[in-house]
Amino acid sequence: MPQTLEADILTLTSLGGDAVRERHDEFASCLVRILSVDPASVEDIDSYKAAIHHGFSYYYWKWDPRAADLYEVTTVAITRWDADVDQCINVMCELVDFVFFLVWFSEESNIRQSERLIQPLRVASAKFAKSAPRRSLPRPARKGPYRVAWLGMFVQSDNPMSTALYQIAPALLASDHQLDVYAWRFCDDAFRSYLEAKGARVHELAHATPLETILAIEARSRQDHPDIAISDMNNGIPTALFSRRLAPVQIFLQAGMPAWPVQHLDGVFNSFGFDPQKAGWGDAQMLRTNAPWDGAALDPAVAETEIAAERALLPKGIRLIGSYGRFSKITLPYLEAVEKILLRCPDVGFALGGTGDAAHIRTFIANSAAGSRITVEERYVSGHVWGHILELMLDTWPVTGGIAAREMLAKSKPVVTLHSEEMPAMDLQRDPALVARSWEGFVDMAVHLLQNKDAYGEASARAGALVRRLSEIRTFEQELDVDIERTVQRVRSKRSFIGRLNSMVGRVASHKRK
């Protein structure tokens, strides 16, 4: 006889940590049955939400690759649940966050990530949009400066996802825009102090449940009356807020997974140069992201003892090249290129550090002719330490490095990159002489640097010069103002009578073509 929902919840919530690994089949079966129930049959939504949160949390913390098996049942659950009851919003946010995580930690391509996220996020956005009365927001101001609300999940001084806010906040404030930062998940005192010293106002709005956080942010926005809302994340809470329309103009700062087919999206800071249609951005205005780097922050002082301690954990008596980050970014063509480099450079080893499932990497190592010189460190590693250990970085592909590559370049370490059609804008953050157009060219570039001291020295000098040049950009404030103004005026035009009429005619014409 099948277990009741209550029995499944009891079993699921009784297991955690290592106990789940030992009884994973039972744990996962309970979670699948819970996710598969008819929402109408759930009498205690709070208990249901707590149960799926418990189930999802195991995968968030353990990065168990078997989580990928839950993708289909989670996306189906998104179609089943509505967000018309307050507690259901909590469930929907949990489901959206989990499918977001599943795709982020398991897919090796931005295109593939988008293909798997577009439909569930579009369905969720439509349901979130119906979860609150339509807000009658005024047309944005005719001309700036504007009141800007920044939705920040990571308002933290040591988090790479805070880089965009760190770079863009001073530019906004220098142009006399008002900046209110809505820290809706994480916030530390150091970053808060930095923002406030620049002139921003920081509001810590994290609450126990997604719904409470959403309502707190919306209440704050009714006091601040932002003209523009910017979100640097595209998971559950920002999807709900944008779908319910937080501000007259809404902009996505894309710094991670591009996919976001959210309703009421007016603009995108397209940091990867990703295809807007593949990301589900519709007709949103594209904004430039040429913010200056902070060379000092990318290359802080590190104690020699710390470097020595980390080097002692890695293979001795051999030169090291490598990379660090999510293991899902390590693809088979990339590993094959690493192998070719090592076979041509017998005094070199490859070290890879990071998080996620490394099973495919270990399988490759076991069958590689150069496997004895490939090391995998399945743990978080400090780029500021590894940057002093590795002679050069082999950039990942097709999802290339972000902060990791910047950290290496800031230490005057060459970064060899293969051009990615998914992320063409990243080529502008690389030494053009080390951007290959084929795997053969990628291998040849790396080998040349490893076997020619003069070439390596020149590449190191170019790396340092590149960081200095990108840290001295003086055009960003003006570009930002122009792009924001253009986006605002586009929204004003669309919301005018003529603009609404043209939009309606366009929708009718599109329907007839179908």
Digit-coded pLDDT (tens) for 298-320: 999 999 999 999 999 999 999 99
Q: What is the tens place of the pLDDT at every residue in 31-72? A: 999 999 999 999 999 999 999 999 999 999 988 999 999 999
Residue 503 confidence (pLDDT) above 90: no
Give the per-residue pLDDT at 514. 47
Mean pLDDT to the nearest integer, 389-401: 96
Fold of 147-292: Rossmann fold (3.40.50)
Q: What is the mean pLDDT of residues 446-455?
A: 98
Lowest-pLDDT choice from 88-92, 462-466, 507-511? 507-511
Q: Within the chain, what is the greatest distance between any pair of CA atoms?
A: 74
pLDDT of residue 416: 98
CA separation for the pair 8, 6 (Å, rounded): 5
Predicted pLDDT of residue 461: 98
Burial of 118 (0-12, 13-18, 19+ CB in 10 A): middle
C-alpha closest to that of 295 among 473, 171, 431: 473
Confidence grade of residue 96 (pLDDT, cut at 50, 70, 90): very high
CA angle 399, 239, 424 (to 5 degrees): 25
Average pLDDT, the chain: 93
Q: How confident is the model at residue 133 (pLDDT cuts 50, 70, 90)?
A: confident
What was the pLDDT predicted at 174?
A: 92
Please give the average per-residue pLDDT across 322-351, as a whole number: 97
Which pLDDT tens digit goes with each residue over 416-426?
A: 999 999 999 99
Fold of 296-471: Rossmann fold (3.40.50)
Q: Could you give the C-alpha distances from 302 to 313, 322, 352, 429, in angstroms and in order?
A: 17, 19, 20, 24
| pLDDT attached to residue 472 | 86
Instruction: Quote the percentage of the chain above a pLDDT of 90.
Output: 84
The tokens 């972000």 sit on which residue? 402
Domains 147-292 and 296-471 share a fold: yes
pLDDT band at 132 (very low <50, low <70, confident <90, very high): confident
Instruction: Show me where the domains of the chain are located.
Output: 5-131, 147-292, 296-471
- DSSP letters of 302-334? --HHHHHHHHTTS-SSSEEEEEEEEGGG--HHH
